[in-house]
Amino acid sequence: MAEWSTACPDWAARLRARRSIIPAPIFAAPAAEALAIFRELRIVDAPGSPTFGESCEQFVFDFVAAIFGAYDVETGRRLIREALMLIPKKNSKSTLAAGIMLTALILNWRVSAEMIILAPTVEIANNAYAPARDMIKADEELIDLFHVQDHVRTITHRVMGSTLKVVAADSDTVGGKKASWVLIDEEWIFGKRINSEAMFREAAGGLASRPEGMVIKLSTQSDEPPAGIFRQDLQYARDVRDGKIEDKAFLPVLYEHPPEMVASGEHLKLENLPMVNPNYGVSVDEEYLEREFKKASLAGVESIRGFLAKHGNVEIGVNLRSDRWAGAEFWEAQGAPGMTLEQLLNECEVVDVGIDGGGLDDLLGLAVAGRRRQAEEFEVPAHIDEDTKEFIPARTVIKKRWMLWTRAFAHPSVLERRKDIAPRLMDFAKTGDLVLVKAMGDDVQGVATLVKRCEASGLLDKVGCDPAGIGAILDALVEAKIPQEKVIGISQGWKMTGAIKTTERKLAEHVLIHAGQPLMNWCVGNAKVTPSGNAVVITKQASGTAKIDPLMASFNAVTLLSLNPEARGNSVYESRGIRFL
């Protein structure tokens, strides 16, 4: 047996050159046997009901060969046990799933084996079941070999007693299954559900005693920032593909634009869509895609991002809705991932702290905003001033950059009270941006500890809080020996307009940088603007169950920093090389 690897570090170059990103099969014989069966299956809902062999692009056969060609006939063990294919919409994903699982059912040697296609909804389950059923009805030999039961979405092998069952997670149960093969369709939807990881573990539990089995996950990109088990699996797949993690039992097949193309905006060009649509011109209709691309482009940034998520597998970072906060458009570009509170305190001459939230079903957000000691030159392009409507020519300005770092705290009860966002909150807890405390009161203690660190640095100017929730926070700050005169209430509602506009202008001018935290990306995407006369209002009520507390805490901090507090760090003369003793 030759050495093999599922890593594909040159995947970007391969996609650009329209070459395969799927490795060759480990064993040629089982791959050829499976392909011979798979190619003869008919795609009934395609014009003329062609077979897979007559109508599919090469990537389909490469994927089937890699999966079935990983089976060692001498040991009865499959060397690749898990695969994730990320592929845009309309690339025959559900039909491919049906063909793979039906091929596995035909080749299976285990008596009474169970195979499952797990879908998030009944409708998606039917989309996967119908092609498999129709493939059988279109072939006389398969009609004799299988018993089809539409009412329970089950196909049974008459000789082996093995079954292929399509299960909808929103109506059926996967508990107690002893499946040899599990195919999970549209994993991005499962990523929004808090119990999905446990469900997958239960569904795939039978593989522990069935070494010939496999788990296959198929998905398009999420229409929101990826969350939960989907985000976890997607990042793992990328790391295996890029060679950062060695896992030869995991096969990543990810059709997505290279990061440098997304950064440069090349992914926005229509001519680059075929790169990530391997069935472009076949099941993906060129004329339809071109028309929808033009419509989305004219509709605005929110529409084009949604289109590219589904037809270009472009991951959404900040959700840019139509009623978004203006600063959201500049947020991602100003991220400096990896920035720590210690770095901020080392580089700044003064800091202000903002605090917001803290209910049982809420987040308690803390933000530290600081002004750097050293001034920098910034190139401001020509633009129209949004307030005066005057033309402002391009110019060079010298300003001190602002830095922003945040953290949130929550009681685990929020996961029960807000199940719709629980998977995202768990993701943020894993990255450390959100701290899930064990007891009520630990959250304000955690905030007080961070404020105390700022005070100990000698840089703390003020601490700004929402007056409505200042009681418990003030008690914790007093206990942490934060001077009471430094803690003030920040008026909310329309009175926050100044801080909101200041923040968005600082972002647009590239003066404000932040830590690039996924939690804040989410909060910024959740923020909804409600016009109120000449004011711009962002409230938690308008955002609904989606949380924005750390963002509101940031506005509180910006309110204080906008007052241009006196530098509290080292003397400016020390940085100029002159020191007075």
Element (H, E) at 172: none
Helix/strand/coil percentages in the chain, nearest 5: 45, 20, 35
The separation between the first and the last C-alpha atoms of the chain, rounded to the nearest angstrom, is: 76
pLDDT, residue 577, reads 42
SS3 257: coil
Contacts of residue 456, defined as CB under 8 A and 6 or more positions apart, other chains included, come to none
User: In the chain, which residues have pLDDT < 70?
Assistant: 1-2, 170-173, 175-176, 319-323, 358-360, 380-381, 383, 385-387, 389, 469, 532-535, 539-546, 569-581
Q: How many CB atoms lie within 10 A of CB 264?
A: 10
Give the CATH class of 11-261: alpha beta
Alpha carbon distance 208, 361 (integer Å): 39
Provide the angle, in degrees to the nearest 10, between the axes of the packed helices 518-526 and 549-561: 90
Distance CA 308, CA 296 (A): 9
Judge contact between 525 and 320, C-beta under 8 A.
yes
Contacts of 142 (CB under 8 A, 6+ apart): 135, 136
pLDDT on residue 571? 41
Which pLDDT belongs to residue 331?
92
Measured over the CA atoms of residue 516, residue 518, residue 520 and residue 522, the dihedral's sign is positive
- Other Cβ atoms within 10 Å of 429 Cβ, number: 17
CA distances in angstroms from 169 to 177, 185, 421, 464, listed in the order given? 13, 11, 18, 46
Closest-CA residue to 553 (of 508, 509, 514): 514
Tokens encoding 3 = 């050495």
Q: What is the DSSP letter of 560?
A: H
Q: List CB contacts of 193: < 8 A, sequence separation 6 or more.
A: 120, 169, 199, 228, 423
Residue whose C-alpha is closest to residue 313's, from 286, 264, 278, 287: 278
Angstrom distance (rounded) from CA 330 to CA 300: 16
Contact 447, 470 (CB under 8 A): no
Q: How far apart are CA 358 and CA 263, in angstroms?
A: 36
Show the CA angle centred on residue 79, arms to residues 75 and 84, nearest 5°.
150
The residues spanned by each domain of the chain are 11-261, 262-311, 328-561
Sign of CA dihedral 118, 121, 127, 129: positive
What pLDDT was estimated at residue 259? 86
CATH number of 328-561: 3.30.420.280
